[in-house]
Structure 1
Amino acid sequence: MAPVILVTFAGRQRRMELLTRYVREAMNAGIIDEWHIWDFTRSPEDHEWVTREFGPVRFMGSTAPYEAKGSVSPRASFRASALIANDLHVAVLPKTDPDHYLELVVGGWANQHSVMRRLPRSELQTFDRNNVQHNWARSTPGVLSPGKANEIVLGIDAKGVLTLNVNDVAIGSWPEIDLSAGAEVMIRGGWGANLELCDVRERIMRYIGNPYEKMPYWQAYDYYARRLDMFKDALFLKCDDDIVYMDNDKLDAFIEFRRANPKYFVVSANVVNNGVCAYWQQVAGSLPSHIGQFEYPPGGFGGTLWQSAGKATDLHDFFLTTPEKQLPLPNPVIEWTERQSINFISWLGRDLVHMALPKGDDEHMLTVELPTMLGRPTAIFSDFTVSHLSFGPQEAGLDPDRLIDRYEELMNLKLAS
């Protein structure tokens, strides 16, 4: 059966902790096969949490800083399988020298040269190498292959000498440096070269986008679209990091509906705090008028709910008091041809052929531009409910901690039953 892959653009710790428990429960139940965490964090604290909480790094954008990858010692070589066309950076952090590290640049200068530098550890988080002295340099034309995963091996011999091999070719050794005590190893790309670590195959993996880029989400779609052969048989779920409730009992039904209805380009869950869903929830009588009027958002975008912290709060509080934790729509499926918020959606891997998205408004492209071009509607599936904490314009007057605490109480009841 085709794998089910959940993609989440991470990650604000306080808002994502509830989602994390729901997803791990769904994975333990065999509903979700893989979880791909795209690290688009905007604070060092959130990045550190994502790094601690989730699996190893599979992919790194070209401007992502070093990430820990392993270690090397006289009794155990370091091995990595790296898909990268140029400028592979490997940091070797000697255990006996806490202040410095060795930086190996493999295939720098358009894949023509390799160098080794000794640098202070403060440079691990920077990319500026102007006026930096090379301790070793060698011409290595074509050392990295762009057509395969490059096999990288670092070894330390009995005398403590570090050696580097790439694709079974001896690239360098440094007898003047004693690493007999071993070293930690970190890795990154650089200078326009993304890095994919093909030896990383876990159910939960991290994908690190280029830090602090505005509208960064195109990087994820581009990654999957460029690997169509790998993912064409998969079924994708994508959710925001602030999904604070997920009806795991109905998740499998949502997935099977998605699988059985390829005419829809994307299918959305029935989302609490989503302008289009709220309109249909009220049409169905699931949202009484006394908690507010949830109008048809013009063109499926914006509207008073999207702008109002008060409306969002009242909607969340009402949902939390409903016995069944459902807000049914007028029909089991609502076909849609306008924009809608993509808080929790699904697409088929075969449609990645259309999804090499440029930098820009991914929501408009996925729910308006591509469906229009392809002549395929989108849909909202009534029976699978999730709750989305907030939109940006709602933030100013929202009390997220109070709502998260209430949703945590609900989660503890749901996952304990």
Structure 2
Amino acid sequence: MTPVILVTFAGRQTRMEILTRYIRRALDLGIIDEWHVWDFTRSAGDHAWVTQEFGPVRYMGSKVPYQEAGTVSATSSFRTTARIRHDLHVAVTPHDRPQECYEIVAGGWNNTHSALRKISRDQMGHFDRSEDATLWSKPTPSLLSSGRPNDVTFSIDPAGVPTLRVNDVTLGVWPELDLTAGATVHIRGGWGADLELCDVEARTRRYIGNPNEQMPYYQAYDYYATRVEKFDEAVFLKCDDDIVYIELDKLDEFIQFRRTNPHYFIVSANVINNGVCAYLQQAAGSIPTVVGDFEHPPGGFGGTLWESAERAAKLHAYFLGQDGQTLPLSQSVVDWTERQSINFITWLGRDLRHMALPQCDDEYALSVGIPTFLGRPSAIYSNFTVSHLSFGPQERGWDPTALINAYERLMQSRLSPEAEEPLLRVAS
């Protein structure tokens, strides 16, 4: 099987809602198999939206606070399979006492001890703990396995007494905790240990990077690169959260081109509002000069379009005025060896072995650094078009609401029942 996996670094709700509609249609049609939404949000509101919108959490970095993972009752245990080396944290909040919280640290202190604490609800959002919070502790040498996922079962007997078992070993039974009414279960890693919940196999799932890091995206590439055996046969797509138009009836063609041309390191879609693509679109006669002059960005980076809201708005208006018709390049495939914006790109899973990135500029690494080292070109594929809303410099003093509304109308026309039949033919 060669699954198609889309990766999106999320996310701004106002920018991402249109993309969500396109991708859910692609999932329904079977063009995409999995959508991995990486939560790199910067506001509490966006984090809450991503949490609600995009399914269960599969992975969280070691600095991520508790995430809700399920419930437990006398008739239904909580079970999960957790890949973690040490410091598995499980917190339960009783349904009848929602302000109370009990925290179990399984395999803490470098996988040597475990403990039970009573903490407040607000302490779930940070890692500070006081010594007097501990209710129970004992040595548990090598409780957690670093070589395989750990089977975790949290259960409650009819009297409300909870038990936690890890890898078929009873870690603890705590009759002093009355959970007769059931409880909500939260989970996290910590103290240098990332956590992966291996039983989460939903088609749309969340991955949460460590918060407040500069250039945080390396965390996602490193996740996949260290699991190359699992993803070796996959085709990966990566798109920005503010992609506001996708030519869905050409997406499968784009994926098939990627599969059959392994000599390219990355392949980019033909992107509206992308400096390199705009230069190539105009050179091919697809953008008249009345819209603006779109120069070759120096070295493929920056340029007047990248920094100008006015130029971006004119280009978007022209594209929308063509009713979303493509702006073809002079060739069906343009080989490219300079930097380019990676608004919508694809790579092969087998190339993940080269993508264990440090904390760095991922755009430069993927479009210049790694391809140059490997002696492999990248490419821009003319016959699949997407539209990218804005770059950071374009957003200074610019309100894109009217533009988002226009792309919303275009999306509705493309995904209407009348437009569905051609898409179904493509997917079949």
TM-score (norm 2): 0.96
Q: Structure 1 CA distance, aligned partners of 2:173 and 2:400?
A: 55
The match for 2:39 is 39
The match for 1:82 is 82
Letter of the aligned partner of 1:410 in structure 2? Answer: L
Q: Structure 1 CA distance, aligned partners of 2:375 and 2:396?
A: 39
Q: Structure 1 CA distance, aligned partners of 2:99 and 2:135?
A: 17
Is there any run of 5+ residues in structure 2 with no aligned partner, and where?
420-428
Q: What is the CA distance between 1:324 and its match in structure 2?
A: 5.2
Letter of the aligned partner of 2:313 in structure 1? Answer: T
Moved more, 318-327 or 203-212: 318-327
Q: What is the CA distance between 1:132 and its match in structure 2?
A: 4.4
The match for 2:311 is 311
Does the CA-based 8 Å contact 2:305-2:311 persist in structure 1?
yes
**What pairs up with 1:292-307 in 2 under 5 angstroms?**
292-307=292-307
The alignment of Structure 1 onto Structure 2 pairs a total of residues equal to 417
The match for 1:332 is 332
The match for 2:161 is 161
Does the CA-based 8 Å contact 2:34-2:204 persist in structure 1?
yes
Deviations 1:114-143 (A, max 9, x none): 000011111111111144421000100111
Q: Structure 2 CA distance, aligned partners of 1:17 and 1:27?
A: 15
Deviations 1:248-295 (A, max 9, x none): 011011001111100100000000000000000000011111111100
Moved more, 88-97 or 296-305: 88-97
Letter of the aligned partner of 1:251 in structure 2? Answer: L
Q: Structure 1 CA distance, aligned partners of 2:247 and 2:398?
A: 24
**What pairs up with 1:258-297 in 2 under 5 angstroms?**
258-297=258-297
Does the CA-based 8 Å contact 1:313-1:398 persist in structure 2?
no
Does the CA-based 8 Å contact 1:37-1:205 persist in structure 2?
yes
Does the CA-based 8 Å contact 1:161-1:179 persist in structure 2?
yes
Does the CA-based 8 Å contact 2:324-2:410 persist in structure 1?
no
Does the CA-based 8 Å contact 2:119-2:133 persist in structure 1?
no
Does the CA-based 8 Å contact 1:83-1:150 persist in structure 2?
yes
The match for 1:112 is 112
Q: Structure 2 CA distance, aligned partners of 1:364 and 1:324?
A: 29
Q: Structure 1 CA distance, aligned partners of 2:408 and 2:96?
A: 45
Q: Structure 2 CA distance, aligned partners of 1:178 and 1:390?
A: 53
Q: Structure 2 CA distance, aligned partners of 1:99 and 1:68?
A: 15
Letter of the aligned partner of 2:192 in structure 1? Answer: G
Q: What is the CA distance between 1:232 and its match in structure 2?
A: 0.3
CA gap 1:16/1:132 in 2 versus in 1, 3 angstroms: farther
Deviations 1:140-199 (A, max 9, x none): 011101111101111111221111111001111111221111111010000010000011
Q: Structure 2 CA distance, aligned partners of 1:132 and 1:36?
A: 40
Q: What is the CA distance between 1:397 and its match in structure 2?
A: 3.5
Q: Structure 2 CA distance, aligned partners of 1:219 and 1:151?
A: 25
> Any idea what SS the aligned residue of 1:397 has?
coil
Letter of the aligned partner of 1:157 in structure 2? Answer: D
Moved more, 124-133 or 12-21: 124-133
Does the CA-based 8 Å contact 1:310-1:397 persist in structure 2?
no
Does the CA-based 8 Å contact 1:100-1:120 persist in structure 2?
yes
Q: Structure 2 CA distance, aligned partners of 1:155 and 1:171?
A: 12
Moved more, 360-369 or 169-178: 169-178
Q: Structure 2 CA distance, aligned partners of 1:28 and 1:176?
A: 48
Q: Structure 2 CA distance, aligned partners of 1:383 and 1:154?
A: 52
> Any idea what SS the aligned residue of 2:396 has?
helix
**What pairs up with 1:7-406 in 2 under 5 angstroms?**
7-323=7-323, 325-406=325-406
> Any idea what SS the aligned residue of 2:170 has?
strand
State the superposition RMSD in angstroms: 0.9
Q: Structure 2 CA distance, aligned partners of 1:61 and 1:310?
A: 39
> Any idea what SS the aligned residue of 2:339 has?
coil
Letter of the aligned partner of 1:398 in structure 2? Answer: W
Letter of the aligned partner of 2:2 in structure 1? Answer: A
The match for 2:411 is 411
Letter of the aligned partner of 2:19 in structure 1? Answer: L
CA gap 1:171/1:261 in 2 versus in 1, 3 angstroms: same
Moved more, 373-382 or 171-180: 171-180
Q: Percent identity?
A: 63
Q: Structure 1 CA distance, aligned partners of 2:263 and 2:397?
A: 40
Q: What is the CA distance between 1:323 and its match in structure 2?
A: 4.0
Where does structure 1 differ by over 4 angstroms across 4 or more consecutive aligned residues?
none
CA gap 1:343/1:132 in 2 versus in 1, 3 angstroms: farther
Moved more, 128-137 or 373-382: 128-137
CA gap 1:23/1:317 in 2 versus in 1, 3 angstroms: same
Does the CA-based 8 Å contact 1:111-1:142 persist in structure 2?
yes
Q: Structure 1 CA distance, aligned partners of 2:327 and 2:398?
A: 22
Q: Structure 2 CA distance, aligned partners of 1:237 and 1:92?
A: 37
Q: Structure 2 CA distance, aligned partners of 1:49 and 1:140?
A: 38
Q: Structure 1 CA distance, aligned partners of 2:221 and 2:283?
A: 34
> Any idea what SS the aligned residue of 1:135 has?
strand
> Any idea what SS the aligned residue of 1:325 has?
coil
Moved more, 323-332 or 18-27: 323-332
Does the CA-based 8 Å contact 1:243-1:387 persist in structure 2?
yes
Q: Structure 1 CA distance, aligned partners of 2:268 and 2:38?
A: 20
Q: Structure 1 CA distance, aligned partners of 2:376 and 2:30?
A: 30
CA gap 1:14/1:324 in 2 versus in 1, 3 angstroms: closer
Is there any run of 5+ residues in structure 1 with no aligned partner, and where?
none
Moved more, 129-138 or 234-243: 129-138
